[in-house]
Structure 1
Amino acid sequence: MTVSITKCSREDLPRLREISIETFTDTFKDQNSPENLKAYLEKAFNAEQLEKELAHSSSEFYFVYFHDELAGLLKVNMNDAQTEPMGNESLEIERIYIRNPFQRKGLGQYLIHKAMEIAKIHNKTRVWLGVWERNENAIYFYKKIGFVQTGAHSFYMGDEEQTDFIMTKTLSEI
């Protein structure tokens, strides 16, 4: 199995936008109204918003490739880029998105390991993420690899308030 991970740059913006919309839609379209999904996609993944996120010095995007095909993405945030004030010792995994044809091939695990590497490089002691309370497969995956629920916060899908569980993993010393 050939897997590679590359850091995204400004030149990747069109593909980043395309894969973000595709994966988010595939994952959440059946549980949300078309109007709320459309509103979220337009807000979160418009070119200006993604360009701003790409340019932020405390955010990083990565593409994962499976046999040279773009299979998914990872976005991590540190310091003031985190979506919740978790402190400078924390790294947030804001997005792990895997395209449907590449699900269940272990790519999420690769991206989690990449996030842990980034956290250690930046001397972070905790990694956290938000996961929708109804996304049982993702919750199971994160629990299996050592994340524990430490809180919850609101996530807005259009005008609908939803609850994301905040899950945290403390990094062990090397």
Structure 2
Amino acid sequence: MQNIAIKRVTLDDITVLQKIGRETFFETFSNSNSEENMQQYLEDGFSVKKLREELGNRDSEFYFAVHDEYVIGYLKLNYGRSQTELKNEASLEIERIYVLQKYQGKKIGQILYEKAIQIAHDKQVKYVWLGVWEQNLRAINFYKKNDFIEFDRHIFKLGNDAQTDIMMKKNITI
């Protein structure tokens, strides 16, 4: 797919971020989780209050993938103390890469991933890491294809369901 622009998300984009966040999360996980847990996570995880806090955090960044002025995916990165677990100054966390279902398989996720790696090089971190649900085989394979390796596991709470994420990382050569 051609003509994909990557745009840094600002507070002015909060409504669009909320919409794309909820839509892509629902598309990705609704078939594997209860309606109650999904609804709770979508309301809490993508509330305007939470997104405003995340966008206001200087150690987190969001980027949209835009095609013909339409947001089709997004990326969230965390540095330093904003990382969800490791909080290592020498690392960068890819917290989210999500693409609308109808645009999957068109290299949009790869474009967002490459933006994350470019930023990792710019920030001169030693490695990039992330957590991916153990049942999300498509994402796991995507990251393996991009030279990530498993190094640990952690628990991710979706509503009242404790799920296991595989933690993966990739060393960055500076």
Q: TM-score, normalised by structure 1?
A: 0.97
CA distance in 2, matches of 1:164, 1:90: 18
Q: CA RMSD in A?
A: 0.8
Q: Which residue of 1 aligns with 2:153?
A: 152
CA distance in 2, matches of 1:15, 1:70: 8
Aligned ranges 1:18-167 → 2 under 5 Å: 18-167=19-168
Shift of 1:67: 3.6
Shift of 1:57: 0.4
Shift of 1:42: 1.3
CA distance in 2, matches of 1:150, 1:26: 27
Structure 1, residues 45-77: CA drift from partner, whole Å, max 9, x if none? 000000000000000000001243211000000
State how many pairs are aligned: 173
CA distance in 1, matches of 2:150, 2:87: 14
SS in 2 for 1:38: helix
Amino acid corresponding to residue 129 of structure 1 in structure 2: L
Gaps of 5+ in 1: none
Q: Which residue of 2 aligns with 1:169?
A: 170
Contact 2:79 2:87 in 1 (8 A): no
Amino acid corresponding to residue 160 of structure 2 in structure 1: D
Q: Which runs of 4+ in 1 moved over 3 A?
A: none
Aligned ranges 1:2-13 → 2 under 5 Å: 2-13=3-14
Structure 1, residues 110-166: CA drift from partner, whole Å, max 9, x if none? 111100111111111100111000000110110011000010100001001000000
The percentage of counterpart residues that share the same residue type is: 42
Gaps of 5+ in 2: none
Shift of 1:172: 1.8
Structure 1, residues 69-93: CA drift from partner, whole Å, max 9, x if none? 2110000000010000241100000
SS in 1 for 2:58: coil
CA distance in 2, matches of 1:42, 1:67: 29
CA distance in 1, matches of 2:4, 2:161: 37
